[in-house]
Amino acid sequence: MQSLHTQETDVFLADNLANDLEQLIEPFKNEKIFVLTDKNTHRHCFPLISRIEGISEERCIITDPGDEYKNTETLISVWQKLVEGGANRHALLINLGGGMPCDLGGFAAATFKRGIAFINIPTTLLAQVDASVGGKTGINFMGYKNEIGSFMQAKHVLVDTTLLKTLDQPNLISGFAEMIKHAYLKNEPLLKRTLNFDILNPDMQELSKLVAESIKIKDEVVTADPFEKNIRKALNLGHTIGHAFESFALKNNQPVLHGYAVAWGMVAELYLAHIKLGFPLKMVEELTAYTKNIFGSFSYTKADFDYLYETMTHDKKNQAGRINFTLLKAVGDIAINTHCEVHEVHEALSFYLEN
């Protein structure tokens, strides 16, 4: 397996998933090892690691799939199964799945016995470039995304891009949105490579290279600011409005994939960057056309502006009652803690609706 030489977490690109995982869990061979997964990943991915010594069906914790199950009820059920399985402070939890098992499992591990070790094996593109790396763990609460959580780094992250071959197209596209975000934070050459990549008919070898670059970008930011006091807020580009779109969709029982919401949120937030900081309107329009083609459109009306804005007030970057956005002056020129007035946010929401 290839180390990506990240600083906060040991991240590896797998050559052979089972063999590489066997090496990583060697220090835990005398301890109890649990695997958290959802029903879909249990069916498609658990068999790839099920024959490794120390891993058993009996200590496999299976949840329902979907972000709507990243909640207190599921969290409690994970704690219960750890207790019933005899987990102690030296146990290991392997989170096998997309962003939901990585977020939920990380938080379960961070809080059980005041913290047990965990390894993330992200099986979706979104989880590989986002949820599995960076130490953020958590659950949704009272309709708000990631309202309860903690910071705790995974012991290891094992990324196997061959798992993406089994991923349906919507989930592959969802993860690609975070890669686009990372490219906007880095530089124009990477942004051009990313937007020119055919995610609808992907070259998996080239995608693997882009995934490695994307993980390194996130790790650079996390290493500089592990607890999101400063520059780590850059990673929230597209997320303040994107999370509001997600909450709105959940409220209407029409949940959307996280990456889709982030892509739509980036359009609105880069328009905010245009009116506040002079980000080129032409680039906003190019992203607008790109997201419509790849991600489709998100539906709301002007009557929903107040609800969407109120939802944004729950964003964890906010300070002193002010909504703080991560915006860009140009590609790679990041402006965190940018306050926008209500009428400016409404203008951005109008821009999205009208374009």
Structural domain including 24 reads 2-166
92 plus 12 within the same structural domain: yes
pLDDT at 317 over 70: no
Closest CA to 136 of 221, 199, 193: 221
Edge-to-edge strands of the sheet including 33-38?
Answer: 2-3, 10-13, 156-159, 117-122, 92-97, 33-38, 60-63
CATH number of the CATH domain containing 160: 3.40.50.1970
Are 142 and 191 part of one and the same domain?
no
Of 106, 132, 166, the position where a domain reaches its end is 166
CB 215 within 8 A of CB 6: yes
Q: Provide the pLDDT for residue 149.
A: 87
pLDDT band of 11, cuts 50, 70, 90:
confident
- Do 67 and 45 share a domain, yes or no? yes
Query: Where does the pLDDT of residue 287 fall: very low under 50, low under 70, confident under 90, or very high at 90 and above?
Result: very high
Where among 111, 134, 166 does a domain terminate? 166
For 139-189, what is each residue's pLDDT tens digit?
A: 888 877 778 888 888 899 999 988 888 889 999 999 999 999 999 999 999
pLDDT averaged over the chain?
Answer: 90
Is pLDDT at 316 greater than 70 in this prediction?
A: no
Q: How many domains does the chain have?
A: 2
Please compute the mean of the pLDDT values over residues 2-25 and round it to a whole number.
Answer: 80
12-51 exposure pattern, b = at least 16 Cβ within 10 A, e = fewer: bbbeebeebbbebbeebeebbbbbbbbebbbeebbebbee
pLDDT in tens, 202-232: 998 899 889 988 988 888 887 787 766 778 8
Mean pLDDT of 286-306: 96
Pairing mode of beta strands 33-38, 144-151: unpaired
What is the model's pLDDT at position 321?
63
Question: Which of 54-63, 121-130, 221-230, 266-275 is predicted least confidently?
Answer: 221-230
For residues 46-56, give the mean pLDDT.
Answer: 92
For residues 144 and 246, membership in a common domain is answered with no
Mean pLDDT of 91-95: 97
- Which of 118, 149, 166 represents a domain boundary (last residue)? 166
Tell me the two tokens of residue 40: 């879909």
CA distances from 337 to 33, 135, 180, 304 (A): 41, 21, 21, 25
Question: To the nearest whole percent, how much of the chain has pLDDT over 90?
Answer: 65
Are residues 307 and 199 part of one domain?
yes
**What confidence score (pLDDT) does residue 319 get?**
60
Q: Are both 179 and 142 inside the same structural domain?
A: no
CATH number of the domain residue 239 falls in: 1.20.1090.10
Kindly state whether residues 203 and 112 are assigned to the same domain. no
Do 181 and 240 lie in a common domain?
yes
Per-residue pLDDT averaged across 4-27, rounded? 82
Q: Are residues 199 and 345 in the same domain?
A: yes
228 lies in the same domain as 132: no
Q: Do residues 115 and 183 share a domain? A: no
How many Å apart are CA 245 and CA 256, to the nearest integer? 8
Q: Are residues 253 and 156 in the same domain?
A: no
